[in-house]
Amino acid sequence: MTEFSHTFRDYLKTIGMSNTLCDRAESIYHFYADICNLEIKDLFVTDFINSDGVRQFQNLWFFNDYLFMEAHDFVTSDKFDSSPIHRNIKRWEITKSDYDFNVVNDKSKLKISIYFYEDLSGNLNATKENCAYLMKVFKKYVLPNCSQQI
């Protein structure tokens, strides 16, 4: 089984995740690494700012060359799924505010919606510095897997 890298933990700490949530993310990482028996190359945490101005973490995504793996509401729930990604994305959509794809600030928001051929979809949301991480995921996993199916 692969190990949860320092890079993953550093990313989680950069976006303000507590040690308890980092440990939870690592536990879910090990679940997916064991079940899928594939190397997990990247992770991403969806987040949003609630009405009180507090950052909330929602879904935990893992990626490799074959699968998107999602732990829904990972802070409070144990709901896991995955979808094959290899040339399986038929459409994507980006919505942003206070973000120019280069410079982030405390008001930056980015949402990327992904539509698969099996009539499945997923939403990846980011705020503040997490927008830059989401763009890396978009360029590395979404764009290369867009395909025209005939």
- With a pLDDT cut of 90, the percent of the chain lying above it is 85
Strand, helix or coil at 102?
Answer: coil
**In the numeric block, which tokens belong to residue 105?**
């600030």
Residue 32 has pLDDT above 90, yes or no: yes
Which amino acid type is present at position 48? F
**Chain centroid, CA 103 distance in Å:** 20
**Chain centroid, CA 8 distance in Å:** 12
Of the candidates 110, 34, 43, the residue with the CA atom closest to the CA atom of residue 74: 43
Model confidence pLDDT, tens digit, residues 76-106? 999 999 999 888 999 999 999 999 999 999 9
Q: Report the C-alpha gap between 42 and 147 in whole angstroms.
A: 22
Contact 60, 71 (CB under 8 A): yes
Cα atoms in the Cβ-side hemisphere of radius 13 Å centred on 27: 10
Give the number of residues written for the chain: 150
Give all domains of the chain, ordered by start, each with its CATH number: 6-145 (2.30.29.30)
Task: Check residue 148 and give its pLDDT.
Answer: 61
Contact 64, 41 (CB under 8 A): yes
Task: Check residue 2 and give its pLDDT.
Answer: 62
Q: Which secondary structure element, helix H or strand E, spans residue 30, and what is its range?
A: helix 19-36
